[in-house]
Amino acid sequence: MSVRGAAALAMASQFGAFAIQFAASVILARFFIGPDELGLFTIAFSFVSLLAVLQEFGINRFIAGERDLSDETIRTAFTVSLAISWAIAALCFLLAWPAAAFYAIPGLLPLLLIIAASYFFVPLATVPMALLQRDLDFRSNTVIEIGVVLANAAVAIVLAWRGWGPLALAWGAFAQQVARAALSQWRVGGRLPVPPRLAGALPVLRFGGFSTVLSALSQTGARLPELLIGRLLDTVAVGLFARAWGLAAQLRLLVSGGLATVFYPAFARARDAGEDLGAHYERVAASVTAITWPAMAGLAACSIPIIGMLYGERWLGAARPLEWIAMSQILFIALPLHVELPILLNRMRPLLWRFSLDTAVSVVLLAVAATISLEAAAASRVAYGLAWLAIHAPFLHHVVGFRWRALARVWALSALATGAAVLPVWLSYQVWDTPSDAGFGQIALAVVAGIALWLAILRQTRHPAYAEMHLLSAGALGRLGMGRMVPAPR
């Protein structure tokens, strides 16, 4: 499968998964789960996830980026993955009791135990998923991603309907891990390390050691906000923050989340062929920012009506945090593949200390802001994003070799298109209803107008992403006899 075809299929997979997750979150929030219950589940999930990140041990990236991958190497990697993952899962299970005692929140312990138990299934999917990504088999990836979110949504909604509260969310997470293990094993033909093999494990362990530390630092930055807010504020604040963070993360995943799984093996092939990675990176950054920046800016602009219409009045406290979180995502999106490419090019050690620095900045900013208010904690993510960009951009330039002028031009064009995309929303607030009173019709018309302006600006400014978008959309619409509906690039 070509990289362009794989990217299209990955995006289709993300659209399907997003639709299911989004519908499930709306149903659960509107009818069954309140902010305090979501907050309780989020504390449990964040605590276990913070430890369980050690499970993957870089096996996925090792397999996807290894130049010469033999069956023996795969079996060794799988054996290492099982041994380490099950040890970490057991540790998560044992630490459930002291964690519950630390927070002293009734009902937290069973959530911790259920979520920890689900991680015993994770290593059964790690190597199969990596093999599918390496082969650019994103048809199988689509089947798996749709299947796991269906399992999660179905179990969570049924149990919530029966009055299980936050336990419904925990069992939904458990069902998701079981489904991922079963489906990924099915798509690779039931591949297990039989017999186990540890010969040649040193390269896997060496790679995994660096990758695990990086993942742990990344997960600390991602999960610590919810854990700190849970400790410094309360479960309602955690629930509101988690709703805002989850909505922004879901939209980002929908728009560009599947592209990283495509581009990593594609960059590995370009590296092996001796191609100029800088030029490739500039095109990737153009595509990601052109699509994702307007989505995040639109989410920030429409945060109040979106939260009110989707989740109801009891969730309106998540609207202001959502604005800040969505704006912070624009900064993080500016440098795609900031972890994957240094790992691919064996620059893990300098990446490690930069990750340590940016994690420290994140923790300090959040710890100070969370003592003030929930909104201040969310606003600290923008300050962290600026620091993150200053830390990682020069390093990635040195590693990949992109041109500063070319990347700055991409950012400027994407920013112009983003401004055009949200302009109709802002104008509608001036001449129609304010954000608190805006209805579906007003927001829908403004969004449609914003999309039209966004496309027009991309085409008129000759944004590099427009040619790629035209190629993909014209091919898809061409099968329906509507290929000429998409204007050609200028």
pLDDT at residue 397 is higher than 90: yes
Same domain, 178 and 293: no
Q: How far is the C-alpha of 388 from the C-alpha of 381, rounded, in Å? A: 10
pLDDT at residue 482 is higher than 70: no
Q: Residue 141 belongs to what domain range?
A: 1-233
User: Is the model more confident about 284 or about 208?
Assistant: 284
Mean pLDDT value across residues 128-143:
81
Same domain, 225 and 297: no
Mean pLDDT value across residues 66-79:
79
E strand map for 88-202: none
Same domain, 288 and 139: no
| pLDDT for position 476 | 55
| pLDDT for position 478 | 57
pLDDT at residue 468 is higher than 90: no
| Residue 241 belongs to a domain | no
Cis link prior to 195 (omega < 30° from 0)? yes
Mean pLDDT value across residues 87-115:
91
- Structure tokens, 201: 């494990």
What's the chain look like in SS3? CCHHHHHHHHHHHHHHHHHHHHHHHHHHHHHCCCHHHHHHHHHHHHHHHHHHHHHCCCHHHHHHHCCCCCHHHHHHHHHHHHHHHHHHHHHHHHCHHHHHHHHCCCCHHHHHHHHHHHCCCCHHHHHHHHHHHHCCCHHHHHHHHHHHHHHHHHHHHHHHHCCCCHHHHHHHHHHHHHHHHHHHHHHCCCCCCCCCCCCCHHHHHHHHHHHHHHHHHHHHHHHHHHHHHHHHCCHHHHHHHHHHHHHHHHHHHHHHHCHHHHHHHHHHHHHHCCCCHHHHHHHHHHHHHHHHHHHHHHHHHCHHHHHHHHHCHHHHHHHHHHHHHHHHHHHHHCCCCCCHHHHHCCCHHHHHHHHHHHHHHHHHHHHHHHCCCHHHHHHHHHHHHHHHHHHHHHHHHHHHCCCHHHHHHHHHHHHHHHHHHHHHHHHHHHHCCCCCCCCHHHHHHHHHHHHHHHHHHHHHCCCHHHHHHHHHHHHHHHCCCCHHHCCCCC
| pLDDT for position 447 | 96
| Residue 240 belongs to a domain | no
| pLDDT for position 475 | 57
| Residue 52 belongs to a domain | yes
Same domain, 22 and 146: yes
Question: Residue for token digits 């964690």?
Answer: 99
pLDDT at residue 477 is higher than 60: no
Backbone φ/ψ region at 487: left (φ over 0), alpha (ψ -120 to 50), beta: beta
Same domain, 209 and 309: no
pLDDT at residue 253 is higher than 60: yes
pLDDT at residue 3 is higher than 60: no
Same domain, 80 and 166: yes
C-alpha to C-alpha distances, 230 to 44, 111, 172, nearest whole angstrom: 10, 15, 22
Same domain, 289 and 352: yes
Same domain, 183 and 286: no
Same domain, 220 and 328: no
| Residue 246 belongs to a domain | no
Q: Would you tell me how many other CB atoms lie within 10 Å of the CB of residue 83?
A: 16
| Residue 254 belongs to a domain | no
The one-letter amino acid code at 242 reads: A
In the chain, the percentage of residues whose pLDDT exceeds 90 is 50
| Residue 359 belongs to a domain | yes
DSSP for residue 489: P
Output the CA torsion sign for 286, 326, 394, 58.
Answer: negative
Q: Name which of 25-39, 243-257, 260-274, 333-347 the model is least confident about.
A: 260-274
The one-letter amino acid code at 462 reads: R
User: Is the model more confident about 92 or about 224?
Assistant: 92
Q: Note the pLDDT tens digit of each residue in 165-203.
A: 999 999 999 999 999 999 999 998 888 877 778 887 777
Q: How far is the C-alpha of 60 from the C-alpha of 66, rounded, in Å? A: 10
Last residue of a domain, one of 201, 233, 265: 233
User: Is the model more confident about 148 or about 480?
Assistant: 148
CA dihedral 7, 422, 451, 254 (to 10 degrees): 30
Q: Would you tell me how many other CB atoms lie within 10 Å of the CB of residue 415?
A: 16
Same domain, 351 and 470: yes
Same domain, 220 and 287: no
Q: How far is the C-alpha of 59 from the C-alpha of 130, rounded, in Å? A: 8
Q: Note the pLDDT tens digit of each residue in 38-61.
A: 999 999 998 888 777 666 666 776
pLDDT at residue 62 is higher than 90: no
Mean pLDDT value across residues 309-323:
93
Q: Where residue 135 falls among pLDDT bands split at 50, 70, 90?
A: confident
Last residue of a domain, one of 233, 265, 292: 233
C-alpha to C-alpha distances, 242 to 19, 41, 238, nearest whole angstrom: 19, 10, 6
| pLDDT for position 6 | 60
How many domains does one find in the chain? 2
Output the CA torsion sign for 44, 49, 50, 55.
Answer: positive
| Residue 163 belongs to a domain | yes
Contact indicator for 15, 23 with CB cutoff of 8 Å:
no
Output the CA torsion sign for 170, 216, 295, 240.
Answer: positive
Same domain, 408 and 283: yes
Last residue of a domain, one of 174, 203, 233: 233
| Residue 363 belongs to a domain | yes
| pLDDT for position 209 | 65
